Amino acid sequence: MDSKRRGPIGIELVRRGLVNEEDINKALDYQKSNPNMKIIEIIHQLNLCDEYVLIEALGDILDEKSIILDKSNINLNVWDYISIDIAKQNKAIPFDITGNKIKVCFSDTLDRKAVDTVRLILLNKGLIMERYITFEKNINDILESLEGSATDNINSSTDTTGLVDTIIKTAIKKRASDIHIEPLENEVRVRYRVDGELIDAVKIPKQKQSQIIGRLKAISNMYQEKQESQDGRIILYPDYNIRVSSQKNIYGEKFVLRLLKKNLNIRGLTDLGFPNDVQLIRSSFNKRNSITIIAAPTGEGKTTTLYSIIDYLDRPEINITTIEDPVEIRIPGLNQIEINEKLRFSDSLRTVLRQDPDIILLGEIRDRETAEIAFQAGQTGHHVLSTIHTIDSIEVITRLRKMGISNYDISSTVGTLVSQRLIRKLCKKCAKQREFTDEEKKLIEQIGEKYNVKFDLEGKYTYDAVGCKECNNSGYYERTGIFEVLSVQDNIRELIVNDASSIEIRKEALKGSYKPLLVDGINKVINGVTNLSEIDRKLIIY
């Protein structure tokens, strides 16, 4: 049957006599409180039809091979073929292989992006994918079973090599960005940073401390005998570059491992949470003879946004050079330079200017010398993209002044200032829908009045974070950005030249298109991406 010409799944099942209209109405009622679940999954969960009959019918309707997938069907090591993140994101599990043909089960074969993502990964391994369909619940149950708990996995490792390896592999499976291995008075604590928050993983007996430290130093190419701060790198894991930092404390040496994924796909600006406004994106970033600066505290995704802007601007006729510390994502067609102790930002930037670049990505403006050269580049036909540590976009002007950049240079060269924060997204598996309280409505209304924005709450709901195994019981899963954009127009330039304060500049900017971070945050609350508690955690609104 042609899946493009079929009717809705529920109607097809009724037509085939597998369920009746009363069953469908039950499923639709259930879907009202579980809006993210598909009808077929609800019919399966409510046991309204035999699961073998149901999956066979689904396969026939979609013209796909079908299977009731469980652990007994899996005849290979899943993680040898795809990572835990890819499996979770695409709801896919490889389960059998013969020669160069590998069988992969999906919860939704109509999701072309998911199917193509997994197919290309396997194709790069020399494998041809044969796809199957099963129920999403089966996929989730198997992933949860295969992933296991961090404590069980780590404590089952008896030798030091296996222990350290399991700590790292478990962090990767849990989508951690960092691993903290911390000697305490009577034990060694391991914590993972997931979606920006540190979570406890396991506590290891104190007597294993010296062996763990020795193993970490060995695989990260550090000096064993030195106990002062060191930096190293682990390259044992094919999909990751792992940066390692050690620092002595009163109970030993603490290690922090930063997990940097190789060949990470660059996400589009709107995928990062940037406003879906084509005109705003075009006017903000299609510039020459100027500097675009992304501002935020440490760890708020500034570099990721820079990569997305570069991806948006990249064309064959443009010469783009990046100067980074370190190069986190290698991008084909770009000239990427990695600085080190001997090669500073300012030194590299001087050389790059003799290489005829059109666009220069400068990882960070850290000092006056780098800032001055960046401004010279922006004034001589180049488009410079960089980052700076400030609390919002308007405070960038104050920071540049303190670095010694003149008001004239700031006003004539700065084109766009962007500030951002990373907020946690609600877990779709466990978020609980409810109506906004009167207090919440009043707060949102007050914010709207303050910034001259009309927030539409008609027919909108908010969600409480609950917590489940999928989200490490946090109630949140993955992160997105909230943004503010200040396009430096003539009225703002005049204020800068006249040495106006940031308060005066902000007051003038609010008369135009500029809206602060909080406005984008409230919009994401209203759209069900996050909730007020998470916005308050980042911006303090109560």
The DSSP annotation for 306-350 comes to HHHHHHHH--TT--EEEEESS--S--TT-EEEE--SSS-HHHHHH
Quick one: 472 and 360 in the same domain? yes
Among 137, 166, 193, the domain boundary falls at 137
68 CB-contact burial (10 Å; exposed 0-12 / middle 13-18 / buried 19+): middle
Region of poorest pLDDT, from 53-62, 153-162, 361-370, 494-503: 153-162
DSSP state at residue 393? S
Residue 65, strand partner residues = 132
Quick one: 411 and 518 in the same domain? yes
Quick one: 251 and 400 in the same domain? no
Quick one: 482 and 399 in the same domain? yes
The pLDDT score that the predictor gives to residue 301 is 93
Q: For 427-440, what is the mean pLDDT? A: 94
In a domain, 1, yes or no: no
Distance CA 48, CA 27 (A): 9
Contact 359, 374 (CB under 8 A): no
Quick one: 298 and 200 in the same domain? no
Contact 201, 208 (CB under 8 A): no
In a domain, 396, yes or no: yes
Range of the domain at 71: 9-137
Among 82, 103, 137, the domain boundary falls at 137
Does residue 444 register a pLDDT over 90? yes
Nearest partner of 486 among 283, 272, 305, judged by Cα: 283
Distance CA 322, CA 338 (A): 8
pLDDT in tens, 246-284: 999 999 999 999 998 876 778 899 999 999 999 999 999
Quick one: 233 and 348 in the same domain? no
The pLDDT score that the predictor gives to residue 37 is 83
Q: What percent of the chain has pLDDT over 70?
A: 96
CATH number of residue 81's parent domain: 3.30.300.160
Does residue 344 register a pLDDT over 80? no
The DSSP annotation for 14-82 comes to HHTTSS-HHHHHHHHHHHHH-TTS-HHHHHHHTT-S-HHHHHHHHHHHHT-EE----GGG--S-GGGTS
φ/ψ bin of 169: left (φ > 0), alpha (ψ from -120 to 50), beta (otherwise): alpha
pLDDT in tens, 459-508: 999 999 998 888 888 899 999 999 999 999 999 999 999 999 999 999 99
Name the 3-class secondary structure at 300. Answer: coil
Quick one: 333 and 353 in the same domain? yes
Quick one: 168 and 126 in the same domain? no
For residue 150, name the pLDDT band (cuts at 50, 70, 90).
very low
Across the chain, mean pLDDT equals 89
The span from the first CA to the last CA of the chain, in angstroms, equals 56
CATH number of residue 242's parent domain: 3.30.450.90
In a domain, 381, yes or no: yes
pLDDT in tens, 21-51: 888 888 888 887 777 788 888 888 888 888 8
Quick one: 126 and 224 in the same domain? no
Tell me the three-class secondary structure of 9-24, residue by residue: HHHHHHHCCCCCHHHH
Quick one: 295 and 229 in the same domain? no
* Structural domains of the chain, count: 3
Distance CA 162, CA 165 (A): 5
The pLDDT score that the predictor gives to residue 389 is 95
The secondary element (H helix, E strand) that includes residue 187 is strand 187-194
Quick one: 288 and 188 in the same domain? no
Name the 3-class secondary structure at 257. Answer: strand
Quick one: 131 and 156 in the same domain? no
The pLDDT score that the predictor gives to residue 340 is 75
In a domain, 3, yes or no: no
